[in-house]
Chain A
């Protein structure tokens, strides 16, 4: 189905990443947003609050992040497309009910405009150090989907993608931007509404009294039940059966957890996205995502000018991780280099998937600024040796 023209600000705009993200949410049909101020993400909430009234949406500023994410869970079961945004400590606070969203297979979008940590860290400066928290931040075993935009244009587009993925796979989806991308202002082209494809919520076709909220077979995605229509269904964060009734035993746990893993793992090929440049004949491949994928380009250009065969893989989805791609590349290149604004997070995933078939190098950074191209250039040069 196509976006509603009323929600889409078609045209060419000069927007920062946060405002573009808000426009993406509106275009995707988001109608409920609960948030709590958290630098450097707050402009997303502010723009939604300003735009919502005339689009039939409702914005609430909650008392904290625990309440924000829980309110959007409630509203999602109430039938709305919902979103919240945060950063740093707020992301930590949200992890409890992110898990509730995973367990109860509730669609919503959570945007983390990453800043430097740990703790209060660097409220106004960038980081990419929440990558493992995005993967493992809530307790228990589960899979996640996380996208990383590198520009305001991608903030707009990937927010829509995040909504679509959350509806398609019936689960919360993370948009992992960072302070640089959030506050960088560039041209954003918003297409006509009929050019924006949306995934609508899938509801059961069964009649009230016959449908259950977690009926799935294998890796199928269970359809949701609409509230207020007589299904009288139950939803719990406890391990449950297909009816949504708590069942506290190892068998039910296996049934549920395997499903939560499978619905991402078995669809990984459809979900995983990346862009490749100059990888065909490369001896060195640089992997990066978000703001770092822009910074690496200068170093790559310089290295190429000097005759080093270097390619780029820009990850669009950081979770699930592009395991197959790394396995393939590691069999044919001399070296893989990960550039990220942390001291080694996705790097270790890359190293794991390379399985010693090629050299792997981390170009880490403690955050607060982006990498200096010279540092990346030096790493590429060394990797090519």
Chain B
């Protein structure tokens, strides 16, 4: 959260309707995020994806964990759940199995999903849980004040690595792909159209779909590393990204302030957990078995 207090908007601006009003909990705006945080455009991309897909928003749920990104669930005007740190994935998995007719989206940060929630991430992907996962990677624990994350690039500074991070960071697309995801993409938060398209594809994909969003944390990562404003960093990520669809997942490591490979890397079909559950029971009980969730072929 930012120490910066923005100028209050003028009356004209206040009187204007927000274009995303239908999709946001306007009674919770202003949000808590800092000016030029990358979360703004990322949430816009999610909202645009909902709108362009013409989803029945009554049948969409968003589940977040803890952190700055973890607050997303609270701003989306759908059934939404703000779980404990790292546990968005199993929460969403339980919800999606209870309601196979709904589209369940996990929207959380890199620290939440890859560190404390790392085991859940691996196993949700391995099971091919019918979930869309959007992970905003800002390379740092932001909500708690700028500590190292499992994604912090080697040598980058954080409040707990004041002399530079001495660990190798996670390659999230590789983690998702090798664990079994059916869809894997990465974009920066300034690739708004491409990111929106990726989120749309991910939502339509049956099974575990994963979109990583590279986004600046203005207040902590940019400041601790003297990288300018959030906007400067957003532009840097955009300008230094190289689009390479179908890239080998092993190539996708991110070094400190260098090239970022973006694109769609995995797009495959395979049975979901529920498909296999129903198949197993069908084998065991034959026609007497009523498939769980009925015809749940779509997410």
Tell me the A residues contacting B by CB distance below 8 Å.
32, 34, 53-54, 56-58, 60, 62-64, 66-68, 70-80, 82, 96-97, 100, 227-238, 245-246
A74 and B95 form a contact (CB under 8 A): yes
State the total of A-B contacts with C-beta under 8 angstroms. Answer: 139
State A73–B273 Cα separation when bound (angstroms): 19
State A68–B281 Cα separation when bound (angstroms): 22
B285 on the interface (CB 8 Å rule)?
yes
Residue of A34, A62, A233 with highest tally of chain B CB at under 10 A: A62
A229 and B87 form a contact (CB under 8 A): no
Could you show 13 A-B contacts with beta carbons less than 8 Å apart? A56-B292, A60-B97, A63-B119, A66-B90, A74-B90, A74-B95, A74-B98, A82-B94, A228-B61, A233-B79, A234-B80, A245-B25, A246-B74
- From known contacts A74-B93, A78-B97, infer whether A63 and B120 are also in contact, taking CB-CB under 8 Å: yes
Tell me the B residues contacting A by CB distance below 8 Å.
25, 27-28, 57-59, 61, 63, 73-74, 77-84, 86-87, 89-99, 101-102, 119-120, 122-123, 273, 277, 281, 284-285, 288-290, 292
- From known contacts A63-B123, A70-B90, A70-B91, infer whether A228 and B28 are also in contact, taking CB-CB under 8 Å: no
- Looking at chain A's contact residues, the main secondary structure is mixed
Min Cβ gap B67→A in Å is 12
State A238–B65 Cα separation when bound (angstroms): 11
Min Cβ gap B120→A in Å is 5
The 6 closest A-B pairs by CB, nearest first: A78-B98, A74-B94, A71-B94, A236-B82, A74-B95, A75-B94
B102 and A228 form a contact (CB under 8 A): yes
Select one of A68, A76, A230 contacting B58, CB under 8 A.
A230
Chain B, residue nearest A72 (CB): B94
- From known contacts A228-B59, A238-B82, infer whether A78 and B119 are also in contact, taking CB-CB under 8 Å: no
A58 and B289 form a contact (CB under 8 A): no
Select one of B58, B73, B281 contacting A229, CB under 8 A.
B58
- Complex interface: chain A residues within 8 A of B273 (CB): 60
State A66–B57 Cα separation when bound (angstroms): 29
- Complex interface: chain B residues within 8 A of A79 (CB): 98-99
Chain B, residue nearest A226 (CB): B79
State A70–B89 Cα separation when bound (angstroms): 9
- Complex interface: chain B residues within 8 A of A235 (CB): 80-82
- From known contacts A64-B119, A67-B123, infer whether A234 and B97 are also in contact, taking CB-CB under 8 Å: no
